[in-house]
Amino acid sequence: MRGVLLFLLFAAIVVSGAWWLSGLSGQVSATLSGYTIEMATPLALLAVALLVIGLALLLRLFFGLLNLRRRFAAWRAMRRRRAGRLATTRALVAIAAGDAPKALRQTARARKMLGDTVQTLLHAAEAARLAGREDEATEIFRKLSTLDEASFLGLRGLFRQAWGRQDWEEAARLARQAERLHPGPSWLRAERSEVAVRTGNWQQAMALAAPGAPTSAFAVAAIAAEPDAGRALKLAKRALKDSPDFIPAALAYAKRLREGGSERKAQTVLRETWARNPHPDLAAFALALHTAPASTFSEAKTLTAGAPQHPESLFLLAGLALAVGTSDSVIEARHYAEAARAAGLNQQRLYRLLADIDAADLTGITLMKPREALRAASAADPDPGWRCDACGTAQTQWSAICPHCRAAGRIGWGNVVRPTLLGRDVSGE
């Protein structure tokens, strides 16, 4: 309705203007080079109006022709951008699908249409990596790393390549650069922690460790690598405080105390740890300074006083009593061994010890013959030892990293199953 009213208003104005022009009187004449043109005033005004309109149209056409080239160039650029965006999308899909040839074609087309933008360079690098062209990908990532707005992407790409070829030193350097650009991203923190483990930078591994990471293992490794005795002692004390039952931490602390001349304090640490978690390595370290069997046996009684009925305590005392070599000590060894078996120890080492006790017993009081004890050992539980729970490989000693699978903090104490064939031990023992 409003449009109709506006149209009627416009029509009324036009009709009124035409009526007004038709009512004008007089004539207009113009002389040019001897020619005279005369016409009524209304027609002269109409001619002037048409002339102005014609000139305006000619000027518009002229300027339109001048801008035609620019508009054509803009139209071509728009088409190139559209084709480049389409090629970028197809390249991304090809990369996700693992289609290396198509990814290379589409990234090349995208770079041709759009130039070397952040997106086209990143996709070209990923396509090159997918096609196995690591050198080409490296050059593109390096180019990305020089762009202010995309340097982090380039560094991350170079970091992934260094990680893939296990160049840990280069990976650590690139991670530090990326950290300076964007401090604190979670992926970078995790990756830097892993690189620190791989390069043996245990202090940094502890600082970057995520919740649930084996920080106790990192701490013990850091203690071993720390050249300053004072800092190592403080670090060992803190490691044991954080993990009171962790045997490597207790041994690391006791070792640093012994090296510093604090043998009594070292023995206290070992006895307190034994009371919480008896372990053969604690006994080996605590008794290492004693050479006489009698004094070693006596010191072992002091060590095990915090857990006298624990099977590990009883087994330790049985073996050391046997080493004393007297008739009374052999009887005492048998007592401890039988008490260990009654306490639940059913491992092969116990029955081998019983066989040795029976062989050394001159009283004739034997509960089983040595041969029977050895047969019982073959059916008993395996002996405990250090083992990586990631790959299952048995280890002769604890270490922060498994030498076989390189897993960090996965070596623990437990029964070690020997390889068997058709139910028979093939370990050679």
Confidence of residue 210 (pLDDT cuts 50, 70, 90): confident
- How do residues 218-260 score in pLDDT, each as one tens digit? 999 999 888 999 999 999 999 999 899 999 999 999 999 999 9
Q: Is the CB of residue 306 less than 8 Å from the CB of residue 271?
A: yes
211's CB contacts (< 8 A; 6+ apart) are none
The DSSP-derived string for 237-267 is HHHHHH-TT-HHHHHHHHHHHHHTT-HHHHH
315: which residues sit within 8 A by CB, 6+ positions away? 336, 337, 340, 345, 349, 350, 353
pLDDT tens by residue, 303-361: 999 999 999 999 999 999 999 989 889 999 999 999 999 999 999 999 889 888 888 87
Contact between 345 and 314 under an 8 Å Cβ cutoff? The reply is yes
What pLDDT sits at residue 285?
Answer: 96
Its pTM stands at: 0.66
Lowest mean pLDDT, pick from 292-301, 316-325, 371-380: 371-380
Higher per-residue confidence, 13 vs 159 = 159
In this prediction, residue 115 has a pLDDT band, given cuts at 50, 70 and 90, of confident
Spatial separation of the C-alpha atoms in residues 341 and 338, rounded to whole Å: 5
Q: State the DSSP code for 383.
A: P
Q: What is the predicted pLDDT for the residue at 202?
A: 86
Reading across the β-sheet that carries 411-415, which strands appear in turn?
A: 394-395, 384-388, 411-415
